[in-house]
Amino acid sequence: MEGAEEELERRSKFLSSLIQKKKANEQQEQQERLNVRVRASDMPLDHQNLAFRCARDALDTMPKLDSKRLALTLKKEFDSSYGPAWHCIVGTSFGSYVTHSSGGFLYFSIDKVYILLFKTAVEPLGQ
């Protein structure tokens, strides 16, 4: 019986690794399709995908880059989807050093535009 459990565990790990590889390949294909390059991330893949799609859609509607509008679009989308307090910086050249909540940081480029999206903790004001 113990050998059967070990075999089941081995097969389960194998299937899990195949699923992870498939997800990674799908993520890579989507990034290539949208012309996205992740520079740094501490964010779940589903959140990243939302940021990529939102940024691509917004850029496609702009005749020329409007950094403020793109930043506002991403911030509002993430505030409404994942709660406050998201911050977004957009540009073709900028430096930054930020503190972010765990799981709430994404720095990526799309075309020649760089986007920094991050979440900070919100504490209620003392009374």
- The superfamily (CATH) of domain 37-127 is Protein Inhibitor Of Neuronal Nitric Oxide Synthase; (3.30.740.10)
pLDDT value at residue 54: 96
pLDDT value at residue 52: 96
Amino acid at 20: Q
Rounded to whole angstroms, the maximal C-alpha distance in the chain is 66
pTM to 2 decimal places: 0.76
Cβ(105)–Cβ(49) under 8 Å? no
pLDDT (tens, 9 = 90+) of the chain, 127 residues, equals 677 888 888 888 888 887 778 777 777 776 777 789 999 999 999 999 999 999 999 999 999 999 999 999 999 999 999 999 999 999 999 999 999 999 999 999 999 999 999 999 987 777 5
83, two tokens: 């709660």
Cβ(93)–Cβ(112) under 8 Å? no
Q: Where are the domains of the chain?
A: 1-34, 37-127
Distance between CA atoms of 56 and 11, rounded to whole angstroms?
Answer: 39
